[in-house]
Structure 1
Amino acid sequence: MCGLTGLLLAQPRLHGDALAAQAQDMAAALPHRGPDDAGVWVDGQAGVALAHRRLSILDLSPLGRQPMASADGRYVLACNGEVYNFVALRAALAALGHRFRGRSDTEVLLAAIAEWGVEDALRRCNGMFAIALWDRRERCLWLARDRVGKKTLYYGWAGGALVFGSELKALWRHPDFDNGVDRDALTLLLRLGYIPAPHCVHEGAFKLMPGCLLRLDAAAVADGAAAHDPHRDQRRWWDGRERMRAVLAEPFAGGVDEAESRLDALLHDAVGLRRVADVPVGVFLSGGTDSSTVAALMQAQSERPVRSFTIGFAGSRHDEAPLALEVARHLGTDHTELYLSGADASALVPGLPAMFDEPFADASQVPTALVCQLARRDVAVALSGDGGDELFFGYGRYQRALRNWAILNRIPRPVRGLLARLPGARGEGSRTGGLAALLAEMGARGIGDVYRNRISRWRDPAAAVVGAREPDSVYGQADPLGLPGREAEAMMLADFLAYLPDDLLCKVDRASMAVSLEARAPLLDWRVVEFAWSLPLDMKLRDGTSKYLLKRVLRRYLPDAMVDRGKRGFGAPVGDWLRGDLAGWAGDLLQAQRLRGEGLLDPRPIAEVWRRFQGGERKWHTHLWTVLMFQAWHAHWRASRDAPRP
């Protein structure tokens, strides 16, 4: 896993040396993503530069250096990520006559592109990646992102240049990138706690969507950001919605025993592929179903104790460390745990804007960052359990949304329409749950609207952002899947398309790469994903037990008592922190005078939420955290923008 950046000019006006210097300066913002090596490649006549920072995981020799050219010289590639099935691809390409100098997956990916073309090569890859590929023959730039979106790729316009990179801080280093805050995208942050692709916090900048390709040439750069429509111009080489529909049309037809064996075999292979590295590999272990399954399969394939790591919160309901320790002892892993306090959080929070790059308000970012720091002391790669909830119906909110949708369908539509107009059905009050939440869902057109209410922080974020209009997202669709009678799958799909890549995976990417640690997610192997989609709902939810089939697999490795435990989630006691160690920091960022001066957020609704929170009302900390993370990021961005350039 590494970092990449670069630029493409509308007109090649810079000398090659100047172009290289600009790309090197952009890459200098990403040393944490690649502390082991750095490289830059330019074509002054074409006006293109690629730069790369390398975290050496496979083939630690100089033969793995990037940007890397294909053997025929046509393509030049900068890649962030890993192609896990590179050994099989290498053998297939060798049989076709390709010869290899080194042992890196990057060289294999280049040969695959040369042999099969960009799109077909990506379809043959099992991995996590974001790539920038220059085609010297066609004089065009390809940007691509993996199926699930494990690696993020930003791009945007800066004067007469298109700039791109693994993180926004690389784009900030271009002298003409002075793009302001996109107020509409800010409403998405307040609603969701993150900004989903293709949106970005900056005007004239975008994120590549998962499973997408973007082809750019000098003409496209010259047309500018105003002419760019990401939904039109980003082409899907793998479409999650269409793949789920296709899989549901041909569902798994076997019994539960056969499904259990199949899932165990798929996970065993997925974990095995992700154990391949020329550096030490460990696992994040929370004690829950997902991470315990990954740890169990990893230890089953290892002759030595696997290194496992967990974070705990003393005296908090979020503390999973005792569960993780129990699992680690049973599996025989070499386990390390670290307990946190409010003071630990206070010390980390000021650095979050620099770490997460774009405003990001999932409070589990704090323990995630700390467990990554803990793991990096001993390993360079760590496996995680991300994806289990979205694939196997793991969230309690799924069940609550189905319950509420069933209630709504028993109420005549005219009555629901009247109830939806009641004062209690509107505004932020529905966040407190109960009858208020049900009233807020009376106007629902479908399961998508019910679920949107379940996952929203701010219910009306546009009211808190001056001059903003909330853009469309997958959570604004009445039925994200578009298949009647598939409400459960529709909710899981919405989370797979947005929450998973742009919250959970973004969180792990930023936190891990901040300390030069590569994180891998075997549950999100595309073969596991599509198999999970093929399963009937009663293999995921049975007798009130979620993740039913995944837990059956886990029982092969752990006793029932360790499997049948309630979900706690990898959260953080943010409410306690905001009333304690972080109270002063929060109060400063939420000052009405400060908000009015910045002109982006309306201080009135924010002051009301702050007042309610300080009065002891529950749940308002999620509202506040979105605002606080934006305010902290905004201060960091302005300081970075105004700092003298080296």
Structure 2
Amino acid sequence: MCGIAGVFHHAKNKSVDPQLLVNMAAIQYHRGPDDFGYVSPDELGMGMSHARLSIIDLNKERGRQPHISHDNNLFLVHNGEFYDFQRIRAQLTSLGDQFNSKSDSEIILHLFPRYGIEKTIEYLRGEFAFALFDKKDDCLYLVRDRFGIKPLYWTETEDGIVYGSELKVLFAHPKVKRELSAEGTYHQLIQVMVPGTTAFKGIHQVKPGHIIKVKRSNGQLNISEHKYWDINFPVAGEYVDHQDEHYYIDGVRENLLEAVQHRLQADVPVGCYLSGGIDSCSILGLSAAVRQDPVKAFTIGFDSKEYDETPIATEMAQQTNAEQIILKLSAEELYQNFSRTIWHTERTIYNTLAVAKLLMSETVRKNHYKVVLTGEGSDELFAGYPAFRKDMFLYGLDDLPASLKKQWQQSLEDSNQLFKGAMLPREEFSSSAMEEVVGFTPTCLQSWLHCHDFGMQLLRPELRNQLHDYDAGRAIADTFDINQLDGRHPLDKAQYVWIKTMLEGQILTWGGDRVDMANSMEARPAFLDHHLAKFATEIPPQFRIKGATEKYVLREAMKGLLPETLYKRQKFAFMAPPAHTDNSKWKMMMNLMNEFASQSKVESAGVLDYSAINHLIQSHDDPAMSRDQKVQLDAVLNHVLGVQLLHEHFIATDVPKLAQQRADELGWRVT
């Protein structure tokens, strides 16, 4: 797991400054502290650099990137892991190929000449982002994994393309503009982003399951985007529902075990994250069953019984004889590290869970671990969120008897009341664009689209005017592939929308890679193995949610591994306690507001309206404000802080100068 960076000029004869490439690697030192490498060949108008975290093939010389093919035609920088690469390498070796390293990355240099880019990707299993330059065709490929587990950003300057694993890598380039956009800021305030976008003008993400091809011809760059993979649910009625539920239970168990086994492969120790949910407990249970030695399990605890999952996690750790390490966090620790977290997430956060996960990854590294297996992706594939149950009830149970519908309704009313206003909407919200494209407004987006008025009021009047006719629902819905929605069951549609928005834009960003790699730690989400995902899409909706029981098939597949308390437990969304839950947390949040969202700081940043922020804060003391309104208020204020910190970190700060200073401090210099 590493950090990549590069530049691709319009002109072949325009060389790339090697020290700039080194600086771009240095500013993402946290992603790869073990080594760095760069190339800037003459007369190719391109350069690449790489910051390395050694996990496979620890040999410094052999594993150093960029990788270059034997014929000097292909240049590669890669971030992530390719599982099952040993088998692929053995097959290629039997065909006469010779490898320079034991690295998983190198297989691309051998697959691509034989098969081309799309067929090459079919061989790749895991989480990855890479850049591949083909000298013969004079083109650059930017490729991101199927779910967007690993990040990859790009932008265009007057000279050409700049790309990297993080925004700060692009901003280390002096010709990359650093400016918050009206649309980007608005979407930060309402939490949900338009897929492929960022908060900054002209800065794009490679979308999950996509290839960006940059072809150079006569001093011009032709940029094209191509989707190579998508989550593909069967058309309603085409499920293999003549199979009984045991077929799917057995299939999930078999596919998940295989995914876990692949992700336990490393040349360094591998641990597990452990909360009180079925997902991480299943991963720990399978890991413990496969391994010969005790698994190290890392658990986050909070100073609030309502939000703390430590007791159930400990029960699971004891059942598997895992060596559990519990990090108990207070409000002070969460808010003291808020600013540092935004430097790494490069987007706003609605809850301090992101801070907690950053501190957890720090604890993992302090215990001399570089790799952990995690449970992300389970709720997306097996319909675990309460929002999915609500959509199933509203749109997917037309034939259900009235008595059973009443049981469903009661179950929904009783579930996850702590998260109304954030994970569940506090009141219904309808987007005409979502109704048109999806058929209904998925519950998972309603909380955030409902923040429209909050978001608009918080913008400066001139930005508000720019967005006078802007429709966030339309902007998001227009990115969906209608072919993946037409004819699908309502539950499939709800899961598809979540995977395209909240999974990549939130869970895998500020809840995953960015806060894990902040401390040079690789997280491996076994549930997001695309072979397992394919099987999961084939499970009929009535087995994903059976009766009012979410994740039914997964729950049954893992029944023998789970403590009975957990097996019977309803889904509990994992969050840190919001600021309104006690005075000390609220005071800590207000201290941050005074530091980063004071009138002078807000006016200097020039994107938010200070009087609107102040009005929002004052409304907190309104005795008529309900709990779910306060949850939503907390989320919006966290986003306000985040917007101000994005300006502080990436616009007010001279990032190119900071990158040079980092390189000097590390001794990373051109040789």
Please say whether Structure 1 and Structure 2 have the same fold, judged by a TM-score greater than 0.5.
yes
SS of equivalent residue, structure 1 residue 265: helix
Further displaced range: 473-482 or 553-562? 473-482
> Which position in structure 1 is the counterpart of 2:404?
none
The question of 1:341 aligning with 2:330 is answered: yes
Write the letter of the residue equivalent to 1:602: D
The question of 1:606 aligning with 2:606 is answered: no
Q: 2 CA distance for matches of 1:387 and 1:332?
A: 25
The question of 1:237 aligning with 2:237 is answered: no
Q: 1 CA distance for matches of 2:149 and 2:429?
A: 37
Q: 1 CA distance for matches of 2:500 and 2:515?
A: 21
Write the letter of the residue equivalent to 1:6: G
Q: Could you say if the C-alpha distance between residues 598 and 408 of structure 1 is closer, same or farther in structure 2, counting changes exceeding 3 Å?
A: farther
Superposition map of 1:423-434 within 5 A: none
> Which position in structure 1 is the counterpart of 2:114?
115
Superposition map of 1:13-24 within 5 A: 14-15=14-15, 19-24=17-22
> Which position in structure 1 is the counterpart of 2:199?
201
The question of 1:539 aligning with 2:529 is answered: no
> Which position in structure 1 is the counterpart of 2:532?
528
> Which position in structure 1 is the counterpart of 2:169?
170
> Which position in structure 1 is the counterpart of 2:312?
323
Once the 2 structures are TM-superposed, how far is the Cα of residue 362 of structure 1 from its aligned partner?
A: 4.7
CA contact (8 A) 1:184 1:470 kept: no
Write the letter of the residue equivalent to 1:534: E
Q: 2 CA distance for matches of 1:552 and 1:402?
A: 20
Q: 2 CA distance for matches of 1:435 and 1:150?
A: 27
The question of 1:351 aligning with 2:337 is answered: no
User: Aligned residue pairs: how many?
Assistant: 614
Percent identical: 27
Q: 1 CA distance for matches of 2:422 and 2:136?
A: 59
The superposition leaves residues 18-47 of structure 1 with CA deviations (integer Å, 9 ceiling, x where unpaired) of: 621221121111111111111101223121
Once the 2 structures are TM-superposed, how far is the Cα of residue 615 of structure 1 from its aligned partner?
A: 3.0
Contiguous gaps of at least 5 residues in structure 2: 400-419, 661-671
The question of 1:595 aligning with 2:588 is answered: no
Q: Could you say if the C-alpha distance between residues 552 and 167 of structure 1 is closer, same or farther in structure 2, counting changes exceeding 3 Å?
A: same
Q: 2 CA distance for matches of 1:608 and 1:484?
A: 46
Write the letter of the residue equivalent to 1:398: F
> Which position in structure 2 is the counterpart of 1:369?
358
1:571 pairs with 568, 571, 575, which one?
575
CA contact (8 A) 2:391 2:490 kept: no
CA contact (8 A) 1:590 1:607 kept: no
Once the 2 structures are TM-superposed, how far is the Cα of residue 248 of structure 1 from its aligned partner?
A: 7.6
Superposition map of 1:74-473 within 5 A: 74-193=73-192, 195-219=193-217, 222=220, 233-240=224-231, 243-245=232-234, 249=238, 251=240, 253-378=242-367, 379-403=369-393, 437-438=427-428, 445=435, 446-448=439-441, 451-456=444-449, 458-460=451-453, 461-465=455-459, 466=463, 467-468=466-467, 469-470=470-471, 472-473=474-475
Q: 1 CA distance for matches of 2:219 and 2:620?
A: 47
Q: Could you say if the C-alpha distance between residues 485 and 83 of structure 1 is closer, same or farther in structure 2, counting changes exceeding 3 Å?
A: closer
CA contact (8 A) 1:140 1:215 kept: yes
Once the 2 structures are TM-superposed, how far is the Cα of residue 470 of structure 1 from its aligned partner?
A: 4.9
Q: Could you say if the C-alpha distance between residues 382 and 104 of structure 1 is closer, same or farther in structure 2, counting changes exceeding 3 Å?
A: same
SS of equivalent residue, structure 1 residue 398: helix
> Which position in structure 2 is the counterpart of 1:414?
none
Once the 2 structures are TM-superposed, how far is the Cα of residue 269 of structure 1 from its aligned partner?
A: 0.6
Q: 2 CA distance for matches of 1:197 and 1:401?
A: 22
Q: Could you say if the C-alpha distance between residues 590 and 407 of structure 1 is closer, same or farther in structure 2, counting changes exceeding 3 Å?
A: farther
The superposition leaves residues 364-394 of structure 1 with CA deviations (integer Å, 9 ceiling, x where unpaired) of: 2011112111122231100000001111111
The superposition leaves residues 72-111 of structure 1 with CA deviations (integer Å, 9 ceiling, x where unpaired) of: 3321110000001202211221232212232110112221
Q: Could you say if the C-alpha distance between residues 470 and 45 of structure 1 is closer, same or farther in structure 2, counting changes exceeding 3 Å?
A: farther
> Which position in structure 2 is the counterpart of 1:424?
none
> Which position in structure 1 is the counterpart of 2:37?
39
SS of equivalent residue, structure 1 residue 7: strand
The superposition leaves residues 279-312 of structure 1 with CA deviations (integer Å, 9 ceiling, x where unpaired) of: 0100000020100011111101011110100010
CA contact (8 A) 2:2 2:53 kept: yes
Q: 2 CA distance for matches of 1:632 and 1:454?
A: 24
Further displaced range: 122-131 or 478-487? 478-487
CA contact (8 A) 1:150 1:509 kept: yes
Write the letter of the residue equivalent to 2:602: L
Once the 2 structures are TM-superposed, how far is the Cα of residue 250 of structure 1 from its aligned partner?
A: 5.0
CA contact (8 A) 2:387 2:423 kept: no
> Which position in structure 1 is the counterpart of 2:666?
none
> Which position in structure 2 is the counterpart of 1:548?
552
CA contact (8 A) 1:39 1:53 kept: yes
Q: Could you say if the C-alpha distance between residues 173 and 564 of structure 1 is closer, same or farther in structure 2, counting changes exceeding 3 Å?
A: same
Contiguous gaps of at least 5 residues in structure 1: 410-429
Once the 2 structures are TM-superposed, how far is the Cα of residue 197 of structure 1 from its aligned partner?
A: 3.2
> Which position in structure 2 is the counterpart of 1:626?
639
Q: Could you say if the C-alpha distance between residues 579 and 36 of structure 1 is closer, same or farther in structure 2, counting changes exceeding 3 Å?
A: same
CA contact (8 A) 2:270 2:370 kept: yes
Write the letter of the residue equivalent to 2:570: G
Q: 1 CA distance for matches of 2:433 and 2:87?
A: 52
